[in-house]
């Protein structure tokens, strides 16, 4: 079945779509310019063929391990986790015997100590992902795992390490050159939140046996026209990514400053967290943007959905569904009369009914909603979704007049954390930190 965007309940007639639709020619010209200059590898994927060859060369190597420990944070981990939970759910199910992917995406002493105590070093590959090679949350864990591998494996420790970093520079690239550690590059101009279909997300996918070719093919199906040097404004105006961007920008113009991502494909729920970073880090600039709100169907119908439907009228919704999910086991026939409506029916029918009911309820409550109905929950469809939302995010940022590819506000907290650890330099941050810590505090026990 086809993948469809259902605009029926998007409230298009209440929004000023024309103002942004009129920018199709301008946006098409900008896409031609930036893709031609190599600035949007997320769309052009010039690295795809080389990457496929590099991944093919890793297959036999990775088969020698039972465990992969991925060290990464933000975009270096969220995409990998979404793919794992979507296409390797057995790791979270009873009786799984391997392979195992572990993702260390936080400064978490409990988890790190567990990895060091329980993972068999000789059967574990440690994959460290940092484009800059300077992300302390990630590289700090690399230092600890490097020492652990040296203690456990001696001179062969580097054979159990794999680095994903800048092709030419940075601390981790220096480690590659010094120790001969295997490495794959993060392409230039590819930010972390746009990197899931590079080595960043595809190495874990390969380890778990996913169909990488299908993921890339799906993404290419959506992005190829956007990457064309022949792209016209007329063609862009018909593209779903531009239509979503126009809708999102028009919503923000009217005060809809929260975007719900409601996933009714249970195994794809973690794409909500991936989308949240993509949307927030790309569009939260200069006092602008809309707050992404990941939600899981049916789970969140019983929690935050009350706010969505009866709270402040500032929310819109991207509603992810698939009519072709597994049927699952049947409900027993011998049920009390009050549950007679599910007697002998497939469990899968219930989530479809719940999804339909909640979609209607949100729409009737005044929440503008576009349904992304996937023809299947396959890797190819996931690739299409990743490319569609990534392109829509970039175009939304351009329509807003901001840069969707940087994240300037994120850096301040990082600098202050380094100042707290007494890193060299950062005199201004250290003074700010001292002023903050020595100020009078309003402390109250509870």
DSSP letter (8 states) at residue 331: P
- Based on the residue annotation, tell me whether 281 is a catalytic residue of this protein: yes
Question: CA–CA separation, 74 vs 274, rounded Å?
Answer: 9
* 85 labelled catalytic: no
| Interatomic CA distance for residues 129 and 73, integer angstroms | 8
Q: Which helix (H) or strand (E) holds 392?
A: helix 379-400
Which tokens in the block code for residue 367?
Answer: 């929440």
Order of strands across the sheet that contains 67-71: 100-104, 67-71, 124-129, 161-166, 182-186
SS3 370: strand
- DSSP assignment of 61-88, as one string? HHTT-SEEEEE--GGGTHHHHHHHHHH-
Q: Is 35 helix (H, G, I), strand (E, B) or coil?
A: helix
SS (H, E, C) 181-226: CEEEEECCCCCHHHCCCCHHHHHHHHHCCCCHHHHHHHHHHHHCCC
Please give the structure tokens belonging to residue 242. 């531009």
96 is catalytic: no
List the beta strands (DSSP E) in 21-123.
Answer: 67-71, 100-104
Distance, CA of 178 to CA of 292 (rounded, Å): 42
Q: Is the peptide bond before 381 cis (omega within 30 degrees of 0)?
A: no
CA distances from 354 to 96, 181, 246, 287 (A): 30, 50, 29, 36
The residue from 281, 371, 373, 429 that is catalytic is 281
Pick the catalytic residue from 52, 123, 288, 414. 414
The CA–CA distances, whole Å, from 96 to 88, 89, 122 equal 11, 10, 20
CB 135 within 8 A of CB 170: no
Give the span between the Cα atoms of 282 and 63, in whole angstroms. 37
Radius of gyration of the chain (CA): 23
Q: Which residues are annotated as catalytic?
A: 281, 302, 414
């Amino acid at each position: 079945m086809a993948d469809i965007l259902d605009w029926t309940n998007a409230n298009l007639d209440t929004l000023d779509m024309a103002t942004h639709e009129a920018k199709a020619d301008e946006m098409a010209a900008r896409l031609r310019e930036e893709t031609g200059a190599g600035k949007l590898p997320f769309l052009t994927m010039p690295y795809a063929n080389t990457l496929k060859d590099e991944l093919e060369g890793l297959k036999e190597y990775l088969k020698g391990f039972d465990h992969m420990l991925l060290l990464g944070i933000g975009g270096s981990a969220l995409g990998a986790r979404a793919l794992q939970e979507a296409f390797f759910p057995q790791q979270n199910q009873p009786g799984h015997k391997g392979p195992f992917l572990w993702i260390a995406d936080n400064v978490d002493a409990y988890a790190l100590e567990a990895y060091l105590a329980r993972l068999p070093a000789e059967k574990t590959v440690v994959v460290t992902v940092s484009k800059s090679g300077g992300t302390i949350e990630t590289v700090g864990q690399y230092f600890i795992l490097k020492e652990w591998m040296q203690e456990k494996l001696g001179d062969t420790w580097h054979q159990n390490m794999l680095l994903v970093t800048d092709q030419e520079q940075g601390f981790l690239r220096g480690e590659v050159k010094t120790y001969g550690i295997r490495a794959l590059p993060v392409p230039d101009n590819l930010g972390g939140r746009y990197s899931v279909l590079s080595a960043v997300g595809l190495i874990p996918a390969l380890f778990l046996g996913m169909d990488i070719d299908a993921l890339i093919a799906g993404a290419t199906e959506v992005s190829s026209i956007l990457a064309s040097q022949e792209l016209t404004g007329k063609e862009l105006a018909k593209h779903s990514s531009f239509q979503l961007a126009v809708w999102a920008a028009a919503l923000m113009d009217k005060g809809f400053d929260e975007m719900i991502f409601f996933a009714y494909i249970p195994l794809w729920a973690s794409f909500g967290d991936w989308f949240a970073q993509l949307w927030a880090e790309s569009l939260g600039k200069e006092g602008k943007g809309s707050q992404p709100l990941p939600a899981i169907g049916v789970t969140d119908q019983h929690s935050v959905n009350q706010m969505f439907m009866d709270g402040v009228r500032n929310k819109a919704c991207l509603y992810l569904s698939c009519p072709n999910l597994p049927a699952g086991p049947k409900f027993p026939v011998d049920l009390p009369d009050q549950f007679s409506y599910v007697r002998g029916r497939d469990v899968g029918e219930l989530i479809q009914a719940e999804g339909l009911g909640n979609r209607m309820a949100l729409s009737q409550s005044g929440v503008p909603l576009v349904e992304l109905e996937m023809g299947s929950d396959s890797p190819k469809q996931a690739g299409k979704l990743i490319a569609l939302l990534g392109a829509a995010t970039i175009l939304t940022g351009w329509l807003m007049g901001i840069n969707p590819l940087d994240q300037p506000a994120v850096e301040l907290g990082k600098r202050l954390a380094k100042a707290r650890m007494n890193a060299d330099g950062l005199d201004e941050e250290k003074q700010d930190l001292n002023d903050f810590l020595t100020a009078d505090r309003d402390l109250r026990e509870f």
